[in-house]
């Protein structure tokens, strides 16, 4: 199977990633795996931040309206969560860099956090779905 993942910005290919072992030059794959191991903490922090339904719900809520910022009470009310859960969840999301808190106490997705969340929630889900469909053929 000759699948490749392309990352394109303004019609320019930024990266092309083979999705099968036979398409990777051995040395390049070893370098990639070594880099992944060195950056494990970064991946762990991101996946850990999104590994709970309430944190996913908070992120989803911030994506429902364009340029939305929500306060602590808004999150409690909108998502029917208790204060402890909102506090712990927003803390974990901020520590991972997905959320930022403004001076007036409102939360919003960081620019980098928007891309990371879309990559993990939407793009990864779609890629897994496509791979499952190809497996069925």
- pTM score, whole prediction: 0.79
Domain limits of the chain? 1-38, 52-115
CB 7 within 8 A of CB 129: no
Angle at 94 between CA 57 and CA 96, to 5 degrees: 95
Spatial distance between the Cα atoms of 47 and 12, rounded to a whole number of angstroms: 28
Low-confidence ranges of the chain (pLDDT < 50): none
Cα gap 69→98, rounded to integer Å: 13
pLDDT of residue 1: 61
- The β-bridge partners of 15 are 7
Q: Distance between CA atoms of 83 and 72, rounded to whole angstroms?
A: 8
Report, at the CATH architecture level, how domain 52-115 is classified.
Answer: Orthogonal Bundle (1.10)
């Amino acid at each position: 199977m000759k699948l490749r993942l392309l990352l394109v910005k303004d019609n320019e290919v930024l990266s092309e990633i083979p999705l099968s072992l036979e398409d990777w030059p051995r040395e390049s794959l070893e370098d990639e795996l070594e880099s992944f191991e060195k950056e494990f903490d970064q991946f762990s922090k991101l996946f850990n931040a999104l590994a709970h339904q309430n944190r996913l719900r908070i992120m989803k809520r911030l994506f429902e309206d364009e340029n939305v910022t929500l306060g602590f009470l808004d999150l409690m009310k909108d998502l029917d969560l208790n204060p402890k859960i909102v506090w712990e969840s927003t803390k974990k999301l901020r520590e991972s860099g997905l959320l930022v808190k403004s001076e007036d106490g409102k939360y919003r997705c960081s620019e980098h956090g928007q891309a990371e969340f879309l990559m993990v929630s939407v793009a990864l889900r779609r890629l897994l779905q496509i791979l499952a469909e190809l497996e069925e053929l």
